[in-house]
Structure 1
């Protein structure tokens, strides 16, 4: 299972989200077809652009609970003070991807930042 975790500022567009996902995949030499889902944190539940991007990409969007994000925070690479203060994790995108993949999840690298959106790719089950 491979998941793209999404973090963003408020008011982003679906095209902002898609651009971040595409850029993150390209950075790892991956195609969109490699993804199983998009994931984000509870704090982003009302950010419609993430869900519109998921629909456009034909991918489900998984909303991870605050507890799930905090449980995997030690596995994040990036550190954002704003994210820590607002969401309780140093990287919503990285923690969301890790939490969605579950046990054995591994980030392929630090989050990719494209304008107002961050995207991190996590792979599950030791397949990497």
Structure 2
């Protein structure tokens, strides 16, 4: 399973989310057709851009709770001071990807950023 974990500012567009996911996949020479899941924090998942981006990418959208994200906090590669201050978590993008990738999931690398969003790619067996 290949998971794209995404974090973003409020009211980020589906275009921006799709762009950062494609950018991250491109770093690892992964075609978008191999992507299984778009993952984010549960509050972000309620914003209209996330279901739209998932539809465009032809993947399932999975919302991760803050409890789930906190459980993988020690495994993120690039903690964000901004996210820590706002959510009390070190990461949304990397942590979401790790949660959905499952117990043996791993990040392919650090998150990548666009102007308003970040994306991390993880692989695993799923949760």
Partner of 1:65: 65
Q: Please report how far the alpha carbon of residue 33 of structure 1 lies from its aligned counterpart in structure 2 after TM superposition.
A: 1.2
Question: Structure 1 length as normaliser, TM-score?
Answer: 0.93
Measure, in 2, the Cα distance between the counterparts of 1:89 and 1:19: 24
Question: Structure 2 length as normaliser, TM-score?
Answer: 0.94
Coordinate RMSD, CA, aligned = 1.0
Mapping of 1:42-121 within 5 angstroms? Answer: 42-121=42-121
Greater mean alpha carbon deviation, residues 80-89 or residues 48-57: 80-89
Q: Structure 1: give runs of 5+ residues left out of the alignment.
A: none
> Moved runs in structure 1, 4+ residues, more than 3 A?
none
Greater mean alpha carbon deviation, residues 40-49 or residues 103-112: 40-49
Measure, in 2, the Cα distance between the counterparts of 1:24 and 1:120: 7
Q: Please report how far the alpha carbon of residue 101 of structure 1 lies from its aligned counterpart in structure 2 after TM superposition.
A: 1.0
Q: Please report how far the alpha carbon of residue 46 of structure 1 lies from its aligned counterpart in structure 2 after TM superposition.
A: 2.5
Measure, in 1, the Cα distance between the counterparts of 2:105 and 2:48: 26
Q: Structure 2: give runs of 5+ residues left out of the alignment.
A: none
Instruction: Give the SS at the match of 1:69.
Output: helix
Partner of 1:30: 30
